[in-house]
Structure 1
Amino acid sequence: MSALGLWGLDRGGIWRDEAVTFQVARRTVPQIWRLLHGVDAVHGLYYLVMHVVLAVRPGEVVLRLPSVCGAAATAALVAALGARSARPRVGLWAGLLYAATPLAGHYAQEGRSYALVAAGAAGATLLLARALDEPADTGPDVRDEHGDAGPEARARPSRHMWRVRSMWWAYGGVVAVTCLLHELAVFVLCAHALTLALLRAPRRVWACWARAAGAAVVVLLPLALVSSGQSQQVEWLPVPDGESAERLLRDFVAGPQGAVFWGCLALMAVGLTAGRTAAFAAPLMIVPPMLLMLFSQVKPLYHERYVLYALAGAPLLIAAGADRLARLAGRRAHPGTVTAAGVLAVVLVFVHLLPLHREYRTLAHRPDDLAAVSALTAREVRPGDPVLFLPSLGRRTALAYPKGFRGVRDLALRAPGPESGTLYGREVGPRELQRRLAAVNRVWVLAEPYALRSRWFPGEPTERLKLVAVEERFVPRWEGERDGVTLRLYVRRPATASLAPPARSPSPAPR
């Protein structure tokens, strides 16, 4: 998993979500704390972690290294869980299959929190398995010739209780930290509750789990209250449907289509009969996505990256199914031969999925390439030229790659993001922008793909002024495009043409 995570890690550009991580994590801790009161509270702990990481060396590769480590840790934890719940070869196959899954490799190379959340959820599940393996008794009673318990016998119960309690509090602590990295990881507790029910855990175990889970939820509550007031950030998410569920299943089961998909699906069906392994794997894979999709029918919050941690259950089920078939079909086969055959099968699956792995490591697989937009700006815009970002979130390109915007005048900016406690800065009002526009004869507009469409009309007064006043008072002179983002030069409209109707679809002309 580490090797696959490092393969192609330097793509030569970051996309919009990574750009947010990059520019926020390089702020001071007080500036990050101020930002979280207004936006992105759900990623607060992750930004603080990345603040420490990027203090070593800010760059694209370092930005993604924690995710590589998180994915590698998840693969190891999946292997450990398979070995504990079944046998070592199940763990080996499951860990390798997790690494071979393209979805795991995709988020291993993303400068966001999702791979770390997956590691936390897998770690919590392993801790739950260890806690359930602790015996209820304290071992054989040791008494002297008078029938009295000796010091060793009296000390054993206290040592045992301390060990059991420490495991449960470690479990609760890992769940709490995981949920603070992303609050939607809280659904892992529902998966674990189903695991306890399937294993028919005694009342004592339920009580220990309830205390640890309750403590984690109490820690999460302040974050949930703050982030609930910032729900406008996810208003773009659609309501998930049957196609969303099918796409997630294909992403989880080692590839989008073909014999590999159907073979893995068949092994998963067999794995559901694998007893203890299935009791851990099936709830982890099914419960969080199902609950989030159901909740999203009322308030859309679903995206596959928010339930990436559920992926750990799929390779466990597949490996458990393969182990069950191997035991039925080859009772006389040498265990080492069976293990090697399983490893070879995973290698063949990886070879089959290699084109998808390559695709996931290209810039074209992400929604945008901010480095290319910055390079276009650096080539065309001269120092001192005024620039308008339409809308203001287009400023993320300048924040991620400031070299391309060195010396330009941000015409609408009143206070930068770090000073204003916002992601992209606070802009001046319409009256002040009118005054600033009146003082320039040419202005560059960097527009998002949708911003120059006739159907888009912003609600913010300053954004409306950018869209309307520029086209009323200026005429387009030059236009370039990179990855859907448009860079357009406007020059002041001649006085004789002031009454002419504005042109919304200019023909590109040389600078």
Structure 2
Amino acid sequence: MSHGGAVQETHVSQRSRLILPLAAAAFALVTLVPAFWVPSLWTDEAATASAVRRSWPELFFMLGKVDVVHGLYYMLVKSLTDAVGVSELSLRAPSIAAGAAAAAALAVAGRRLGGPRAGLAAAAVLVLLPRFQFAATDARSYVLTVLGTSLCLAALAALRDSGRWRAAVGFGAALMVSTGLSFYCILLAPVAVLAALADRSLRPHWWKVALASVPAAGLAAWVASLASRQTFQVAWIPPLDGHVVPEIFLLQYFSHASMWTDAGIVPRASAPLVVGMVMTAVAVLALAVWGTVRRPRSFTTVLGLGLIVVPLAVLLIGSALMGSSYYLPRYLTFTAPGLCLLAANGAVSLSRAAASRWVAGAAALTLAGGAVLAIAGQRTEFARSPSDDFRFVADTIRDHARPGESFAVAAGEDLFLAAYPRPFEGLVDLTRGISAAQWGLIFDQRFPLESRSALVDRQKVVFAIRPVEKPQEEQFLRSRGFTEQARWTGPGHVVVKFVKP
């Protein structure tokens, strides 16, 4: 009877261990899935669409010229879209799945490090972070790197508990894949080694962590050597200045990619999104600070702080030494689980004492309220980036253009074609040279409209498609005898229908 009872208890224990990650994944899906298809594809997502619509040889040709750092991600998404087609749903589905898996993995890591309540709190904070919500519904690789970090943390916690080699191998495998998705993730290796050296339980196994990191280090070096030939792609990043402080403390974890401008940190978003960002920042940072103060020497605190500080310091110092900025808030999305572990520490500490439970409750309500506002703000049509109103352009052409008519777009302004190509089928593209696939770049080759005068003069109807602030094509068409018949204005683009009398 005692043996049977022990077996039953083991089964119950295993079942209870599954409940936490499954609950975390379910919570993630409940918040991520509703209306994830509503926002228009934006510049980064259009780049993904442009890449995955190519043949495999064309994709590898492109990676030799641009976006090699996104190569593994493009290959993963292309494997899916080749089977089901390219759409908002198919492009964003891998990110949603990765988001749910990341919440589950962080719940496991948090439970191993601080118990079930800590695991649940860490996963909940992660899911409610506005940056996570954006990344997990975005057709880019950032949320997959969050999943990689969460798996690394879970493997490191398992190694701390058991000392087994398979945990170290799991850490190395997760680090390898993460580094393939973003070579910045190799910075997880020094974080893990330093945390291991600082922890009495893990210190005997630090060399296993270091050894398991070697393959990923080799991969990172190889990708970095390839990316060094493509540094022109990050030349646009603004230099480090006084704006880096709000970028670190506000934008890095609590906003999304479009919430900055070249002129400074000026949110270009709806009021709910801005208010939600601030509310979640206040709640999470307060919990993280409290957790750090209450347990300054715990392994969770050391690991969480290391995740936040080490990669950031390397990027900032490296940028200063090299004279070019390699820091953008979204590049460090993979470090978000560190902040979540610290916040979970604070939440658990506050909830243990009756006198401070109301503080924990207030923080939870603030976080939840802010998250609701942020999520609602992100699910609007142009929330990704108001200037990238690609669906507006495509819908306008679909509703008003007829086969055989033409359109004109300037160089570097045609990503709406990669995002939504179907409405443009059967139309004459006046400015295109060779296609992006033939050229090996994200954009199609484009010629100035002025150089296509002979072709323009043969047209009866031309749709000029341009950013709001660039009216050059309109001026040229008027000079060739066209008159404006209709105009449609979106948040970022203007579509003007010109006809020749």
Same fold (TM over 0.5): yes
Partner of 1:383: 403
Q: Identify the residue that residue 131 of structure 1 maps to in structure 2.
A: 159
**What is the CA-CA distance between 1:114 and the residue it aligns to?**
0.5
In structure 2, what is the equivalent of residue 238 of structure 1?
Answer: 238
Shift of 1:5: 0.8
Decide whether aligned partners of structure 1 residues 107 and 271 sit closer, same or farther in structure 2, where only a CA change above 3 A counts. Answer: farther
Give CA deviations for 1:335-393 in whole Å, capped at 9, x if unaligned. xxx8x9968963563134322221122123221221111111233333222322112x3
**Alignment-derived partner of residue 155 in structure 1:** none
Q: Is 1:449–1:485's contact at 8 Å kept on the other side of the alignment?
A: yes
Of residues 34, 39, 48, the one that matches 1:7 is 34
User: Are 1:477 and 2:484 matched, yes or no?
Assistant: yes
Which segments of 5 or more consecutive residues in structure 1 lack a partner in the other structure? 136-162, 454-465, 493-510
Report which stretch shifted further, 220-229 or 126-135. 126-135
Which residue of the partner structure matches residue 302 of structure 1?
A: 327
Within the candidate set 89, 94, 97, 2:122 is matched to 94
Instruction: Give the counterpart letter for 1:73 in structure 2.
Output: A
**Does residue 77 of structure 1 match 2:134?**
no
Cα deviations across residues 378-418 of structure 1 (Å, max 9, x unaligned)? 33333222322112x33221232223212111123233223
Match of 2:337? 312
- Tell me if 1:33 matches 2:40: no
Residue correspondence of structure 1 range 211-222 to structure 2 within 5 A: 211-222=211-222
Matched with 1:227 is: 227
Shift of residue 113, structure 1, vs aligned partner: 0.7
Could you tell which deviates more after superposition, 370-379 or 441-450?
Answer: 441-450
Q: Is the 8 Å Cα contact of residues 95 and 143 (structure 2) preserved in structure 1?
A: yes
| Alignment CA distance shift 1:371-1:255 (3 Å) | closer
**In the TM superposition, what is the alpha-carbon distance from 1:425 to its structure 2 partner?**
2.6
Say which is worse superposed, 357-366 or 266-275, in terms of deviation: 266-275
Distance across 2 between alignment mates of 1:430 and 1:443: 11
> Is the 8 Å Cα contact of residues 383 and 408 (structure 1) preserved in structure 2?
yes
Show the counterpart of 2:140: 112
Residues 490-505 of structure 1 correspond to what in structure 2 (within 5 A)?
Answer: none
Note closer, same or farther for the CA distance 1:241–1:197 as it changes in structure 2 (3 Å cut). Answer: farther
2:426 aligns with 407
Contact 2:283/2:363, CA 8 A, preserved across alignment: no
> In 2, distance between residues paired with 1:269 and 1:349?
18
Which residues of structure 2 form unaligned runs of 5+?
A: 1-27, 255-275
**CA–CA distance in 2 between the matches of 1:431 and 1:99?**
50
For 1:7 and 1:118, how far apart are their aligned partners in 2? 21
Q: Distance between the aligned counterparts of 1:206 and 1:480, measured in 2?
A: 62
Compared CA separation, residues 360 and 432, structure 1 to 2 (3 A): closer
Q: 1:394 aligns with which of 395, 408, 413?
A: 413
SS of the counterpart of 2:239?
Answer: coil
Q: CA RMSD in A?
A: 3.2
Task: Choose the corresponding residue for 1:356, options 342, 367, 374.
Answer: 374
Residues 189-238 of structure 1, C-alpha deviation per residue, up to 9 Å, x if partnerless?
23223313432688763432332222211122222222221122222211
Q: What is the SS of the residue equivalent to 1:445?
A: strand
Is contact 1:268–1:314 with CA below 8 Å preserved after alignment? no
Q: Distance in 2 between matches of 1:271 and 1:38?
A: 50
Offset, 1:46: 0.6
Residues 218 and 341 (structure 1), Cα distance of their counterparts in 2 relative to 1, 3 Å cut: same
Q: Is the 8 A contact 1:16 1:396 kept in 2?
A: yes
Which amino acid letter does the alignment assign opposite residue 384 of structure 2?
R
Instruction: Confirm or deny that 1:445 pairs with 2:472.
Output: no
Task: Determine the structure 2 residue equivalent to 1:497.
Answer: none
Identity value in percent: 24
Distance 1:341 1:319 in 2: 14
Corresponding residue for residue 504 of structure 1: none
Aligned CA distance change for structure 1 residues 274 and 89 (closer, same or farther; 3 Å): farther
Q: 1:292 aligns with which of 307, 315, 323?
A: 315
- Secondary structure in 2 aligned to 1:364? coil
Q: What's the counterpart of residue 258 of structure 2? A: none
SS in 2 for 1:61: helix
Structure 1 residue 420 and structure 2 residue 439: aligned? Answer: yes
Q: How many pairs does the alignment contain?
A: 445
Separation of aligned partners in 2, 1:474 and 1:206 = 74
- 1:51 equivalent to 2:78? Answer yes
The structure-2 alpha-carbon separation of the partners of 1:411 and 1:95, relative to structure 1 and needing over 3 Å to count, comes to same
Greater shift, 371-380 or 189-198, is seen at: 189-198
Residues 292 and 345, structure 2, Cα contact 8 Å, conserved in 1: no
CA 1:366–1:431 in 2, change beyond 3 Å: closer, same or farther? closer
- Contact between 2:468 and 2:492, CA under 8 Å: does it hold in 1? yes
Q: Is the 8 A contact 2:32 2:136 kept in 1?
A: yes
**C-alpha distance in structure 2 between counterparts of 1:211 and 1:321, whole Å:** 33
> Once the two structures are superposed, what CA deviation does each residue of 1:102-153 show, in whole Å capped at 9, x if it has no partner?
2211211111111011100121122122223334xxxxxxxxxxxxxxxxxx
Q: For the Cα contact (< 8 Å) 2:39–2:378, is it kept in 1?
A: no
TM-score by length of 2: 0.79
Partner deviation per Cα, 1:131-188 (whole Å, 9 max, x = no partner): 23334xxxxxxxxxxxxxxxxxxxxxxxxxxx41x33233222112111112222222
1:109 is paired with a residue whose SS is coil
1:290–1:472 distance in 2 versus 1, CA, 3 Å: farther
The amino acid across from 1:85 in the alignment is L
Aligned-pair CA distance for 1:469 = 6.1
CA 1:422/1:109 → structure 2, altered by over 3 Å: closer, same or farther? same
Give the match for residue 256 of structure 1: 278
Code of the residue aligned with 1:95 in structure 2: it is A
One-letter amino acid of the counterpart of residue 477, structure 1: E
Is the 8 Å Cα contact of residues 5 and 68 (structure 1) preserved in structure 2? Answer: yes
Query: Which residue is 1:186 aligned to?
Result: 186
Give the direction of change, closer, same or farther, for the CA distance of 1:467–1:250 in structure 2 (3 Å limit): same
- Asked if structure 1 preserves the Cα contact closer than 8 Å seen for 2:483 and 2:498, the reply is yes
- Match of 2:489, SS state, is strand
Q: Closer, same or farther in 2 for the Cα pair 1:345/1:180, shift >3 Å?
A: same
